[in-house]
Structure 1
Amino acid sequence: MSITRLHPGPRMSQAVIHNNTVYLAGQVGTAGADVTTQTKDCLKAVDARLAEAGSDKSKLLQVIIWLADMSDFAEMNAVYDDWIDPANPAARACGEAKLATPEYKVEFIVTAAI
């Protein structure tokens, strides 16, 4: 059994690859920016991490989105809908949660096939 950890740190890895599946750590955007900017930042980071792992958004399996405030749902979705591969949408969940700092408004957790 092979496990590859990308950008490991003392607390977590940015991505873990196992059995042709890549698991990304939560991706956040520029602290303090608006939801649109943070969502764009998150998805740009998702694209970069997936590419590094040998995958892309057409291979998404699951996307979990945490919003600091569900009133930002439509604003986040406007960006997400432009980003997602409509032929290959992931299983998705979105909920409200207190994020690591009040400056973060959205966080994406992604699992994809390789």
Structure 2
Amino acid sequence: MSITRYQTAARMSKIVVHNNTAYLCGQVAEDRSADITGQTKTMLAKVDGLLESVGSNRDKLLTATIYLKDMADFAAMNAVWDAWVPAGSAPARACVEASMASPELLVEISVTAAV
């Protein structure tokens, strides 16, 4: 059994690959001062970069769990999400309202993808 961990620190790895499946840790916005649209865009750009680093991409998404600070942002987040997900490649997805680790964060995502 092979497990490969990438960008590993004491608390977590940014990516773990096992059996040709990539598991990403929670990703948040690059600019925490942005609105929900800006935070969602930069968060998904980080997902793109991490997936690419292990030979995957958004066409290979299997699951996504999205955490929103406020469900009032659901429609605006979905507008960015819908433009980002390739047609016919939508993963199994959950979206929940959650307390965030930092008060300025509006959205976080965790994804699993095939490699």
3-state DSSP class of the match of 2:103? coil
Count of residue correspondences: 114
Q: Could you tell me how far 1:87 is from its partner in structure 2?
A: 1.4
**1:33, 1:44 → 2: CA distance?**
14
3-state DSSP class of the match of 1:109? strand
**2:113, 2:66 → 1: CA distance?**
15
> Match of 2:34?
33
**TM value normalised by structure 2:** 0.97
> Match of 1:8?
8
**1:86, 1:63 → 2: CA distance?**
16
**1:3, 1:103 → 2: CA distance?**
34
> Match of 1:97?
98
> Match of 1:82?
83
Matched, 1:62 2:43: no
**TM value normalised by structure 1:** 0.98
**Unaligned stretches of 5+ in structure 2?**
none
Structure 1 residue runs of 4 or more that deviate by more than 2 Å after TM superposition: none
> Match of 1:73?
74
**2:5, 2:33 → 1: CA distance?**
29
Letter in 2 for 1:12: M
**1:31, 1:112 → 2: CA distance?**
25
3-state DSSP class of the match of 1:92? strand
**Unaligned stretches of 5+ in structure 1?**
none
Letter in 2 for 1:26: G
Q: Could you tell me how far 1:32 is from its partner in structure 2?
A: 2.3
| RMSD after superposition | 0.6
3-state DSSP class of the match of 1:80? helix
User: Between the two proteins, what is the percent identity of the paired residues?
Assistant: 54
